[in-house]
Structure 1
Amino acid sequence: MASPLRLELTTPSIDDRPVFVTGNFCDWLPDVRAFQMQPVGPGQFVYEFPPNTELPEELVYKYTRGGWDQVELDASGEGVANRIVLRTAGVKREHIPHWRWFGSPYNPLLLPKIDLLGEEFKVPGISQVRRVHVLLPHDYEQTNKQYPVLYLHDGQNLFGGGAGYGSWEVDQKMALLAARNRHEVILISIDHAHDERIREFTFHRTRAGTGKGQFYLDFIRRTLKPLVDRTFRTLPDPEHTGIGGSSLGGLISIYAGLMHPDVFGRLMVFSPSLWISPKIYFDAIRLQAPVPMKIYAYGGEKESSYMVPSIRRFNETLLRQGYNGKPIDIHLSVDPAGTHQEVHWSREFPKAVEWLFYEQTN
């Protein structure tokens, strides 16, 4: 008699822990030996329910690595809903991007090393000095590799508790990515200029005054990037140099790619404040990217009635442009429940890093 159900599981997060399936067929016990999956390759497991096993008509279940403190998680390190399958389904193929690590969403040994690159960087054309941190992969000192670099704005809200609005927790997200070997990117965290933030992240005249975005971008490409490339083992070309941020930080990241595509070839654009710079659609028409460019754009439908439509319009404008007759590679991620908050940008961050800097495999 053939088995009524075979579960086939793949996971990029590879370690020595066994994998169990648990659910309404075993009182939800997370580590029953009879329901331990068999490894068949790196990150590959199978389990066949014995033909004589009494199963409910509909199985409700999850996967663990030996306990509820080691249960499956999604790609951003958050909990997932119960899985459901009919006992007569035959073969069920599934994928798990991440697992809880003994109660934590990440292994603390995989956290990046955070160093202060400078406390008072001077920015020509902007009066305030700037604090900059570097986040190196946890195993940076154990390799001789060269790494892509991602420059991120609003450093006060990137790691730690965050200043006022919360934190992206990029250090924790990079530890999460390290569990599936997608962490080999150097992050540069650049603090904003507090009251001058609007001016330094815009280019045209606004209610806050004339924009100084060009001075800010010149600081990154002429002062900060050369220092980073001299100090660390980087891949300095535009195909391995990214820039990203949210809100006004998303807007200035777009302009970085539009104005300096020979420097920034990877853009992480979260909830960009396109409304403050309507001229950006015309600027986009003139884009001539000298190298293949990738743009990860995110917006939440709960942010405002115009956020997602504006991003779609901008993406459509860019898609009509290209390099050597080829389209720019754009990924648009829309969150129906997304609001204009750090918690949503934090969830999106690991997905964006993977898409921008790694080939997509499942």
Structure 2
Amino acid sequence: MIRLMLALLAMLAFAAPLAAQDVGRLIEYERVPAAGLPDQRLTIWLPPGYDAGDQRYPVLYMHDGHNLFDVTKSNFNKIWAADKAMLAAVQSGKVEPHIIIGIWAPGPDRYRQYLPRSAYDAAPPGLRAQMDAAAGGEVVSDRYLEWIAGPLKSWVDASFRTRAGRDDTAVVGSSMGGLMSCYAFLEKPEVFGRAGCVSSHWPAVDPRAVAGEDSGVKELWDGWFAARLGKPDGRRVWMDHGTATLDAYYAPYQQVVDARFEAAGWQKGRDWQSKVYEGAEHEENAWAARLPEIFGWLLAKD
């Protein structure tokens, strides 16, 4: 009996630190008004130690917030596991812990909220007609961006211990969220110093419908970046795609975008990154698998 009690005590002594381990804390805001947009919803992750200290933190804004942390709230029963990716990046010693602001997608309004308005306005008529059909309503990504960079960011900086400057503010998303992240980075360079454009949906519509060279999609993105990219000025962009499912269509467009970065004098590996993941599909498990690597490069301390 004594031996059994000692063994149980030893097990409890070993298990206690694991049970008490701080892995951060999630906060949810279910209805957040945003002018000219459907009501928004937020899931915010505060890093380990936030509640016990007075440290200030850089901030990462992420789209499709319902697919970031909790599989029971996700679209497809799989998630990015963004909190675990952040912990892994911090553990590497390359990255400071960030507050993560997960912004949920507004259901059927997702496409029109994420499609870059300035790219939509510049699209040739045939492509724009397809965008209109996919949007099913007014493209409102300009309002979404103004809300993130204005009221939402102001509230986050007032409500949490943040470092509010450009170099401490990042934005990351995938697919249409990848386009939206590039849009935020290009249109608000004074706000977002770093962007992760993961498996960006460069075709913008059904890729089979714009497969021909006369669709104007490549020319659209080339001109869009050329007009807005500017010099690096300490900023940093991550781009990538897989080679399976929807990602199999992205390479020709990504190559055009990569060439524009090179032409603008951005140094690959320092200012921008573009990677191809062989066999990777267009889905959350694939993005989760590479997210620690993305964070490790994109959010690395200078």
List per-residue Cα deviations over 1:220-266 (Å, max 9, x = no partner). 01111011111122221111110010000001101111111111110
List per-residue Cα deviations over 1:48-85 (Å, max 9, x = no partner). xxxxxxxxxxxxxxxxxxxxxxxxxxxxxxxxxxxxxx
List per-residue Cα deviations over 1:142-175 (Å, max 9, x = no partner). 4332211110000111111142222111122233
TM-score, scaled relative to structure 1: 0.64
Going from structure 1 to structure 2, the CA distance change for 1:110 and 1:298 (only over 3 Å counts) comes to farther
| Cα distance between partner residues in 2 of 1:197 and 1:233 | 30
1:196 — aligned with what?
A: 109
Q: Are 1:234 and 2:179 matched, yes or no? A: no
Select which of 248, 270, 275 maps to 2:203.
275
Select which of 234, 238, 241 maps to 1:299.
241
Q: Are 1:163 and 2:106 matched, yes or no? A: no
Shift of 1:306: 2.7
Aligned-pair identity (%) = 27
Shift of 1:120: 1.3
Q: Is the 8 A contact 1:258 1:283 kept in 2?
A: no
Q: Are 1:115 and 2:115 matched, yes or no? A: no
Shift of 1:211: 1.7
Select which of 49, 58, 65 maps to 1:148.
58
2:292 — aligned with what?
A: 350
Going from structure 1 to structure 2, the CA distance change for 1:339 and 1:322 (only over 3 Å counts) comes to same
Select which of 177, 193, 197 maps to 2:89.
177
Structure 1 or 2: more strand by fraction: 1
| Cα distance between partner residues in 2 of 1:147 and 1:211 | 33
Segments ≥4 residues shifted beyond 6 Å = none
Shift of 1:177: 3.3
Select which of 264, 270, 282 maps to 1:340.
282
SS of equivalent to 1:285: helix
| Cα distance between partner residues in 2 of 1:305 and 1:172 | 27
| Structure 2 gaps, min length 5 | 1-14, 121-127, 206-216
RCO comparison, higher one (Cα < 8 Å, 6+):
2
Shift of 1:109: 2.0
Deviates further, 181-190 or 345-354: 181-190
Shift of 1:354: 1.4
List per-residue Cα deviations over 1:1-28 (Å, max 9, x = no partner). xxxxxxxxxxxxxxxxxxxxxxxxxxxx
SS of equivalent to 1:334: strand
| Cα distance between partner residues in 1 of 2:196 and 2:287 | 11
| Cα distance between partner residues in 2 of 1:192 and 1:266 | 21
For residues 282-321 of structure 1, the aligned pairs below 5 Å read: 282-287=223-228, 288=230, 291-303=233-245, 304-321=247-264
Going from structure 1 to structure 2, the CA distance change for 1:313 and 1:290 (only over 3 Å counts) comes to closer
| Cα distance between partner residues in 2 of 1:121 and 1:322 | 40
Equivalent pairs, count:
252
Going from structure 1 to structure 2, the CA distance change for 1:273 and 1:141 (only over 3 Å counts) comes to same
One-letter identity of the residue aligned with 1:344: A
Q: Is the 8 A contact 2:197 2:237 kept in 1?
A: yes
Q: Are 1:250 and 2:178 matched, yes or no? A: yes
Structure 1 or 2: more helix by fraction: 2
One-letter identity of the residue aligned with 1:264: F
| Cα distance between partner residues in 2 of 1:297 and 1:108 | 37
| Structure 1 gaps, min length 5 | 1-101
SS of equivalent to 1:140: coil
Shift of 1:290: 7.5
Shift of 1:359: 4.2
TM-score, scaled relative to structure 2: 0.76
1:134 — aligned with what?
A: 44
2:3 — aligned with what?
A: none
| Cα distance between partner residues in 2 of 1:210 and 1:239 | 32
Deviates further, 268-277 or 152-161: 268-277
| Cα distance between partner residues in 1 of 2:81 and 2:104 | 15
For residues 28-177 of structure 1, the aligned pairs below 5 Å read: 109-116=21-28, 118-126=29-37, 128-161=38-71, 162-165=73-76, 166-177=78-89
One-letter identity of the residue aligned with 1:122: P
Going from structure 1 to structure 2, the CA distance change for 1:129 and 1:146 (only over 3 Å counts) comes to same
| Cα distance between partner residues in 2 of 1:308 and 1:187 | 29
SS of equivalent to 2:40: strand
List per-residue Cα deviations over 1:100-150 (Å, max 9, x = no partner). xx9xxx99824221112x321122222x20111211111123433221111
Q: Is the 8 A contact 2:179 2:201 kept in 1?
A: yes
